[in-house]
Structures are given as C-alpha cells and as structure tokens.
Amino acid sequence: MNDRAALDLLLEHGPLSRTRIGKLTGLSKPTASQLLARLEAAGLVVATGTTEGRPGPNAQLYAVNPRAAHAAGLDVNPRRIRAAVADVTGAVVGEFELATPGRRRQGGALADVGQALDGALHAAGLAREDLHRVVIGTPGAFDPSTGRLRYASHLPGWHSPSLLEELAAALPMPVEYENDVNLVAVAEQRLGVARGHQDFVLLWNEEGLGSALVLGGRLHRGFTGGAGEVGFLPVPGAPLVRHVAKAGSGGFQELAGAQVLPKLARELGIDVPADGDYVRVAEQLLLDAAEDDSGARARLLDVYATGLATGLASLVAVLDPELVVLSGGVVVAGGAPLLERIRAELGELAASRPRLVVGDVQRHPVLRGALEVALAATRDDVFDTSAR
C-alpha cells in the first residue's frame, strides 16, 4: 500500500525527494528510503536529479520510470482510426492516423487495427510486445452476450461475430472495448470539467448524437451496452422514427444532429459552405454564428439550441444529474452563444437545474479517454509490488 501511495504521488506531483515523499505519506525517513530503494530496484522509479537553489545540501529527486510500462488507445470511426501510445506516466510517445474509407477494406477491421496500432508503435520506437494493454473505442457497443457490435451499422467491417476472437488471437496483450462517448466521459471525469462529480451526463455531438451516463461515479452501460444511445430517443418536434435499428437514426438525431444544420441554414437564407462533409459544414456554420450572433445566424442558434435542449430535458428528467457536459466539435463550435441558449431552454424544459458546461478535453477526447482506461489498468498491474 505504501509503494502504491508513493507511486501515485509521483504521478501527481512529478519528481519528489525522499523527505517530501515521507511527509506526504506520513512515513519515517528510513521507511521512505527503503521504499524508494525497493521501487528503484523493481524498475518503477528512477533518480532524476537533485534539488537546486534551496538552502542546505541538494536532495536526490525521484520520478516514476516512464519506461516501466506502455499502453495504447484507439479511436475508431467510419472515416479513420486514430491510435496513440503512452508511457506509464501518461505522456503520449507515439501517434498515428489511418484513413479508412466508408467501403469495406480488404482484411477488414482486424487489418486496420493492426496497421494503426503498429503505426503508433513505430512512432514510439516500440513493438507490440512492449504494450501492456490496448483499449479500443468505437461507436455503439459490443453486446456482452453475443460479442457483436450493436448500434453502429455505419461502421463497415466491424460486425463479424468472430471479430473479438480474431483480435484477441492477433494481439499479444489484453484488449478492452468501450463505447467512444463513454471514453469521452472518462476523459472529462479524470482530466476535465467532471472531476469530482459522481453523477453527470455527457452529450456528444459530431457524426451522431450520443451520451454517456455516469451514476455514482461509474459508467452506466445498460444490459446490452446501449445506455446513452440517445440519437434513437423519440422527441417532440421530429417525426416518429420506426425500425430505428435498421434506419440507424431516431427522433433526437433527426431533430438536433449535425446533419440538420445545413438544412436549417438554407431555410433561414444563410449561405452554406460547399463541403461534402456535413460535420465540417455544421461546425463552420456554428463558428460563423458564434462570431456574428445576430439576424438569421442568431435564429439558427435559437432553433438548434431548442432542439438540443429538447432531448437533454428527457435525460435530465430521468437521471437528475448534478452536471451536464457538452462535448464534440459541433456543439463546441457554437461557443458561448449556443451554450447560453441551451442553458436558457433547458431551464424552461426541465424541472431540475443541473449545471451545464462545455467539456475541457477537446483534443482527441475519445483517444484520451481510451488511454486513461488503458493506463489505469496497466498501473494496477505493474505497480503491484506485493508479488515481487
């Protein structure tokens, strides 16, 4: 327990002296010295220099050995796979992005995962055998009873019933799978605006609308992993969508998904950028509206905020969270003008009053969440000195 406490302090504070570790843990100097010697012999800490510029003799500083272990995360969507490798301190040491066209590729998901992972490992100067764990984030969720991917019909090549077995056979380290929006919530809970919050909802808005539900400090996944698939939520203001699994969409997605923004803009007489990617078009429309919050653009923000607040009101009514986090490139592009409109609408549509904020983790949040999950499990493994 003392070993793990010291390692966690070094991760939190960076290099520390023996005296400082003793004070933070409550250990005596001889016990702190024995602890550091044990951790150094195990390859878990390294001496990094000495204190300078202070009265008295310089003290040796110690830090977690970054090469003690490595973990990887993958962020998968229909357009690309983004991979990253981090050392045990959390520092990213290699990244790679593999373009994956919408058509089914030769070799399918198995080949794509291997290529993306190997690209990140090459950038880090490592091999597959150097990894302790990989966490893969995808849209939808793998059904725990069947092993098949559900709620993500738009992800070609990922629906084989034997895919998880094939990946397990091809990769020499433990592999975990998690919903991409759940991973964004993990990133916000550990690094962003949701730190310290036990009950919150995260609404993600990019290619599709999705949410993550954190209840009592833990992710709520549901019986089949489909908790949070709010794009399928029937909502007022949108036609009732039937056979949603086949359609791949639902009322909330049709009311407030990114794909509706170009249509709304044209109806309001706003010029729509000529770009085939509706997500980039939606982001640009909201960026422009946030910069010039007047006239037709103000109306665009009004209508879109009402749509988002309509679905959020249902979540708030059922879950009564203390915090709602908005994340994803589309909603972030709307900035403060969109946030204030959503807050005002939600205040009228919901009985409770959760705090509404924009997420802090805006650079590759799915990937960062995957790394956080992989690193937590890796540290539990390699920091356990009881069996050494």
Same domain, 171 and 145: yes
Q: Put the strands of the sheet holding 60-64 in their side by side order.
A: 16-17, 60-64, 45-50
Task: Indicate the pLDDT class of residue 91, thresholds 50, 70 and 90.
Answer: very high
CA distance linking residue 177 with residue 379, whole number of Å:
18
The 10s digit of each residue's pLDDT in 226-284 is 899 999 999 998 888 888 877 778 899 999 999 999 999 999 999 998 877 888 999 99
Residue 116 has pLDDT above 70, yes or no: yes
User: pTM for the whole thing?
Assistant: 0.91
Pairing of strands 80-87, 70-76: antiparallel
Same domain, 272 and 300: yes
Same domain, 136 and 258: no
| Number of domains present in the structure of the chain | 3
Single out the residue in 37, 64, 91 at which a domain terminates.
Answer: 64
Same domain, 245 and 284: yes
CA distance linking residue 165 with residue 314, whole number of Å:
38
- For 16, phi then psi, to 5°, come to -135, 155
Residue 72 has pLDDT above 90, yes or no: yes
Whether 49 contacts 15, CB under 8 Å: yes
Same domain, 129 and 172: yes
Same domain, 247 and 346: yes
The pLDDT value given to residue 371: 98
Residue 8 covered by a domain: yes
The pLDDT value given to residue 32: 87
Residue 19 covered by a domain: yes
Residue 136 covered by a domain: yes
Beta strands in 206-317 (DSSP E): 209-215, 218-219
Boundaries of domain holding 47: 2-64
Single out the residue in 35, 64, 93 at which a domain terminates.
Answer: 64
Same domain, 31 and 91: no
Residue 189 covered by a domain: no
- Here the CATH number for the domain that contains residue 355 is 3.30.420.40
The 10s digit of each residue's pLDDT in 217-241 is 999 999 988 899 999 999 998 888 8
Same domain, 224 and 95: no
Same domain, 60 and 89: no
Same domain, 202 and 138: no
Residue 26 covered by a domain: yes
Same domain, 102 and 165: yes
CA distance linking residue 288 with residue 296, whole number of Å:
11
58 or 159: which leads in pLDDT? 159
- Here the CATH number for the domain that contains residue 37 is 1.10.10.10
Same domain, 20 and 103: no
**Which residue matches tokens 């995260």?**
202
Single out the residue in 49, 64, 79 at which a domain terminates.
Answer: 64
